[in-house]
């Protein structure tokens, strides 16, 4: 209540500005109407891995890769594609301390998740942990920055310390397909009892999917029955250079 009052006064005094073009924000967003409409939405994605499906394919159909080798996670939901301006927003959050970009991305995720989840709601949110060395140098975990507002908005608790990353892996996109599994294998460790049957992992971008799949495998070995993945953006293929956006890795 107090927070809402303060926010209302702040919004009146300092209306939101578009983080992309500086025009006045619309509907309380830090984006103007035009920039919001131009965001690359991930329509018609594979329900399992969120990879965009070919034009005309039914949205209930899984992509060829998921039909051949289903990933260890059960469902992936990403509202946006990793194409410009997502490289700017994700890169700003991840590498330049722009936490306001994280709040915007989290809000876009929450709007999408509210539409998509129906009764299929996880009991717990786990942000993908960073290796302690990376966390120390960055000062924050961008996945936790996305997860906290989701906790408040969706009413699902976040548990940031239930697992840790004890292997500082090389970027997954730098690995040949066959090397990705061994690079990330054993990277995570469960550090506490996970009191949930169904959890959602939160990350900024899903690129190869290997990182989230490895944590999903680790959680399932610890007894979790279902693992979903929520990210702000999905690269349209596992070779992000083809997306027109600045290259990104899903190593953290
Ligand atoms: Zn704008
Ligand atoms: Zn798929």
Question: Is the pLDDT score of 137 beyond 70?
Answer: yes
For the whole model, what pTM was predicted?
A: 0.87
Question: Is the pLDDT score of 129 beyond 90?
Answer: yes
Percent residues over pLDDT 70 in the chain: 83
Does residue 252 sit within a domain? no
Q: Where are the beta strands (DSSP E) in the chain?
A: 75-77, 80-81, 124-127, 163-165, 188-190, 198-206, 226-234
Residues around the ion ligand 2 (C-beta < 5 A): 46, 48-49, 51, 63, 66
What is the mean pLDDT of the segment spanning 46-73? 91
Cα(26) to ligand 1 centroid in Å equals 9
Contact assessment for residue 168 and residue 133, using Cβ atoms and an 8 Å cutoff: yes
Question: Is the pLDDT score of 241 beyond 60?
Answer: no
Does residue 251 sit within a domain? no
145 or 242: which leads in pLDDT: 145
Total count of domains within the chain: 2
Same domain, residue pair 9 and 79: no
Closest ligand to 31 CA? 1
Cα(49) to ligand 1 centroid in Å equals 30
Same domain, residue pair 109 and 178: yes
For the segment 75-98, what is each residue's pLDDT rounded down to a tens digit?
999 999 999 999 999 999 999 999
Cα(184) to ligand 2 centroid in Å equals 20
Contact assessment for residue 105 and residue 146, using Cβ atoms and an 8 Å cutoff: yes
Output Rg (C-alpha) for the chain, integer angstroms: 18
- Per the prediction, the chain carries an average pLDDT of 87
The answer to whether the Cα torsion of 221, 222, 225, 227 is positive or negative is negative
Burial of 59 (0-12, 13-18, 19+ CB in 10 A): exposed
Same domain, residue pair 192 and 206: yes
Same domain, residue pair 54 and 20: no
Same domain, residue pair 4 and 22: yes
Question: Is the pLDDT score of 130 beyond 90?
Answer: yes
Q: Write down the pLDDT at residue 59.
A: 74
Please state, in angstroms and rounded to a whole number, the distance separating the CA atoms of residues 176 and 182. Answer: 11
What is the mean pLDDT of the segment spanning 5-27? 75
Does residue 193 sit within a domain? yes
For the segment 160-205, what is each residue's pLDDT rounded down to a tens digit?
888 999 888 766 555 565 555 667 888 999 998 898 999 999 999 9
Residue 17 is part of which domain span?
1-38
Same domain, residue pair 211 and 224: yes
Q: Write down the pLDDT at residue 240.
A: 46
């Amino acid at each position: 209540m107090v927070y809402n009052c303060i926010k209302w006064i702040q919004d009146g005094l300092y209306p939101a500005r578009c983080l992309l073009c500086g025009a006045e924000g619309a509907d309380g967003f830090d984006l103007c109407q035009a920039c919001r409409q131009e965001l690359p939405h991930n329509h018609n994605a594979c329900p399992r891995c969120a990879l965009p499906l070919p034009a005309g394919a039914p949205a209930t159909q899984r992509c060829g890769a998921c039909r051949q080798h289903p990933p260890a996670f059960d469902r992936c939901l990403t509202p946006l594609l990793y194409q410009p301006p997502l490289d700017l927003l994700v890169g700003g959050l991840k590498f330049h301390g722009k936490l306001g970009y994280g709040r915007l991305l989290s809000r876009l995720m929450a709007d999408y998740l509210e539409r998509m989840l129906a009764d299929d709601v996880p009991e717990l949110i786990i942000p993908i942990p960073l290796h302690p060395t990376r966390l120390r140098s960055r000062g924050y975990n961008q996945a936790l920055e996305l997860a906290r507002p989701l906790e408040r908005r969706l009413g699902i608790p976040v548990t940031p310390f239930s697992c840790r990353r004890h292997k500082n892996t090389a970027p997954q996109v730098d690995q040949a397909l066959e090397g990705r599994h061994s690079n990330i294998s054993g990277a995570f460790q469960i550090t506490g009892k996970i009191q949930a049957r169904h959890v959602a992992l939160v990350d900024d971008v899903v690129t190869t999917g290997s990182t989230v799949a490895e944590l999903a495998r680790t959680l399932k070995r610890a007894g979790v029955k279902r693992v979903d993945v929520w990210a702000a953006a999905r690269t349209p293929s596992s070779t992000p250079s083809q997306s027109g956006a600045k290259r990104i890795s899903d190593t953290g």
